[in-house]
Amino acid sequence: MLAEIKTLEGLARRLRRHSLLMTSEAASGHPTTCMSCADLMAALFFREMKFDPSDPYSPEADAFVLSKGHAAPILWAALHEAGAIREDLLTLRRITSTLEGHPTPRSPWVRVATGSLGQGLSAGVGMAIARRMDKRTSRVYVLLGDGETAEGAVWEAAQHASHLGLDNLCAIVDLNALGQSGPTMLKHDAETMAARWRAFGWEAKSIDGHHLPAILDGLDVARRTSGRPTVLIAKTQKGRGVSFLEGQEGWHGKPLKKGPELEKALAELGTNGPLDVPRREERGSPSPRPAPRPFDGHVQPAYKLGQEVATREAYGSALVALGKLSADVVVLDAEVKNSTFTEKFKNAHPDRFVECFIAEQQMVGAALGLAAEGKIPFASSFACFLSRAFDFIRMAAYSQPPVLVLCGSHVGVSIGEDGPSQMGLEDIAMFRAVIGSTVLYPCDAVSAERLTEQAARAKGIVYLRTSRPKTPVLYENGEEFPIGGSKVLRRSASDSATIVAAGVTVYEALAAADRLKGEGIAVRVIDAYSVKPIDAATFRTAARETGRIITVEDHASEGGLGEAVAQALAGTAPLTSLAVRELPRSGSPKELMAAHGIDADAIVGALKATRG
């Protein structure tokens, strides 16, 4: 045991030296936060965690999430010393290097991107859920900074993990007492920090984060604890090992200057002789990155034309069917399952339903963790409430998950009397802004079911926008809805304009077209069910053939369907955008759509006004 402790202490010193050298070479980075957690990292990577350095995606390996992502240099250093990466550590932060300033999946050893503080534990919860679903014995370790525990999202994750009894999850809080601009909230008050975690139902143990026997004992407690997750509150010193850095303010994000400053720090740390670094057994061929298994069969809608069904309800039915087709489908909900209709999935596949309660950040973070483990997560809530999780959504995109589907229901003023706090009016703009995202907006039950399946087979972040009102079934059950397409619902050789709509406004567009036809005015109508990617070719053809485009949407004018179509047209035709431009209030759906100028009357009026 003594020899092992000496080796781990030597490795911790080596990790500190690497962190100083890497950040000084890069002339940027956060060496002092690396130095505080070096002993913790040594214990985890060279004693506690099981992993094969030749197989970053092994399903049997323990997972590690560096929630305090600015400590990335010490993660790269630990992986390098373990033989898991061979890239030159001095390439840190270079554009040609996978050793980024904060962890991203450009390194196969990183499952989820971190660096926006307060998110790592949520992803860790999702990963632990996936491993329990798959009956795997591997564990998940999450290293947090004490400063990020001021984020409410940490406590959303903490209570969720406790509620689920995730005893395969261990969190470690690096209590180094210093944040970016000053002391952290609790400084070195480890007992108060531990009491907070105990209040959330965790097994909590305070330890000296620089004493290897205490660290190893704490990790052993975590491994033996059953029925609840464990957190170790590790009291540490920022800048540990260097006299002019240790416990000193003003060094956050500040690398040492090459020359006397760096040389003095390295001299204080000392050098190690040859270390007998614990090596892991290489088990053969590396595993592929976790991804959903291909599945056969298709969702089979069974509706009658004209039948009144809300798209949110059809979404729930499609999830049930998908759950039968693929065992990788997992559904998460934010305690609105009877409104999003995900309760249908819960009733059919209760072992793959995760109730996240009123905690949308945790829901999205856990969905990311599930996606990183090869699941197909569908996370659902009212569209307006997903906005509070936007930082989680953008970080999920940077994590490059195989697929992660988010569904926002109760969109637009058409929800009616509940009023503006419940109306998703910014969601299309929000999701269109996410790099690489897909945005789908069905108008009827058939398209809703088909697009739900398309979402499950897509890549990356997918957003499904479903509506509260019941709408008539418009399409035959066998109709296909490829991503990036659209449906031309009215067309003639004499069309003098094109109306582009999506969701509930498709029906307003059709009503307007029928009324105009009665007046001898022919117009084209297009259902733009794929908002991103948009069917630019069809819209350009329509613009060329009809001369004018009118878009109509139950969404704010900024960032919505109108701007997507305008971008596709690139100024090749006049465009009039009908959208919600004033703050709404309670009222009936019909009253509100009329008041905000997105009903059939408004479309007719806009078209006549543009005719001159």
- Pick from 15, 577, 606: nearest CA to 277: 15
What is the distance of C-alpha 4 from the center of its chain? Answer: 39
Q: Where do runs of H (alpha helix) occur along 327-432?
A: 337-340, 343-348, 360-372, 383-386, 390-398, 427-432
Write out the DSSP string of 34-98: HHHTHHHHHHIIIII----TT-TT-TTS-EEEESSGGGHHHHHHHHHHTTS--S-GGGTT-TT-S
Nearby residues of 493 by Cβ (< 8 Å), 6 or more positions away: none
Residue 525 host element (H or E): strand 524-527
**Of 148, 360, 426, 563, catalytic:** 360
**Rounded to 5 degrees, what are φ and ψ at 576?**
-115, 130
User: For residues 555, 557, 560 and 566, what is the CA-based torsion angle, rounded to 10 degrees?
Assistant: 140
Spatial contact of 149 and 173, defined as CB atoms under 8 Å apart: yes
> How crowded is the C-beta side of 553, counted as CA atoms within 13 Å?
33
Q: Is the peptide bond before 533 cis (omega within 30 degrees of 0)?
A: yes
Spatial contact of 108 and 289, defined as CB atoms under 8 Å apart: yes
Spatial contact of 494 and 524, defined as CB atoms under 8 Å apart: no
Q: How many CB atoms are located within 10 Å of the residue 294 CB?
A: 8
For residue 213, give both structure tokens.
């026997």
Nearby residues of 44 by Cβ (< 8 Å), 6 or more positions away: 64, 78, 141, 143, 172, 219
Is there a catalytic annotation at residue 591? no
The C-alpha atoms of residue 529 and residue 409 are separated, in whole angstroms, by: 15
**Rounded to 5 degrees, what are φ and ψ at 594?**
-70, -45
Nearby residues of 611 by Cβ (< 8 Å), 6 or more positions away: 496, 497, 521
- In sequence order, what are the beta bridge partners of 577? 551
The C-alpha atoms of residue 171 and residue 497 are separated, in whole angstroms, by: 60
The C-alpha atoms of residue 439 and residue 292 are separated, in whole angstroms, by: 21
For residue 204, give both structure tokens.
């909590």
| Burial of residue 297, with CB atoms counted within 10 A of its CB: 0-12 exposed, 13-18 middle, 19 or more buried | exposed
Find tokens 């659209």 and name the residue. Answer: 486
Nearby residues of 385 by Cβ (< 8 Å), 6 or more positions away: 334, 360
| Burial of residue 588, with CB atoms counted within 10 A of its CB: 0-12 exposed, 13-18 middle, 19 or more buried | exposed
The C-alpha atoms of residue 393 and residue 356 are separated, in whole angstroms, by: 16
The C-alpha atoms of residue 277 and residue 421 are separated, in whole angstroms, by: 57
- What residue type is 412 in one-letter code? G
Is 138 in a helix, a strand, or coil? coil
The C-alpha atoms of residue 376 and residue 84 are separated, in whole angstroms, by: 28
Q: Give the residue numbers annotated as catalytic, written as ranges.
A: 360
